[in-house]
Amino acid sequence: MISQHIGGVSAAASATGDAASQVLSHARGLDGQSGALQSAVDDFLNKVRAA
């Protein structure tokens, strides 16, 4: 019975680690996209100011 609980806790910990890795990966992707968006907005505003 105890070994089943230990197995369940181990599986849950592994799933949590996998989910954390996915969150980190997506956060890095969003960081890259936000940088690209900031550059696009800056370019647009510079063009508006120059017009």
The pLDDT, as a whole number, for residue 6 is 87
45 domain residue, yes or no: yes
The pLDDT, as a whole number, for residue 46 is 98
The pLDDT, as a whole number, for residue 36 is 97
Band (4; pLDDT cuts 50, 70, 90) = confident
Band (7; pLDDT cuts 50, 70, 90) = confident
28 domain residue, yes or no: yes
User: What tokens appear for 38 in the block?
Assistant: 């900031």
| pLDDT tens figures, 16-48 | 999 999 999 999 999 999 999 999 999 999 999
Domain boundaries, position 45: 22-51
12 domain residue, yes or no: no
Q: Indicate the helix (H) or strand (E) that contains 51.
A: none
Spatial separation of the C-alpha atoms in residues 36 and 21, rounded to whole Å: 23
| DSSP assigned state of 1 | -
47 domain residue, yes or no: yes
44 domain residue, yes or no: yes
Instruction: Report the domain count for the chain.
Output: 1
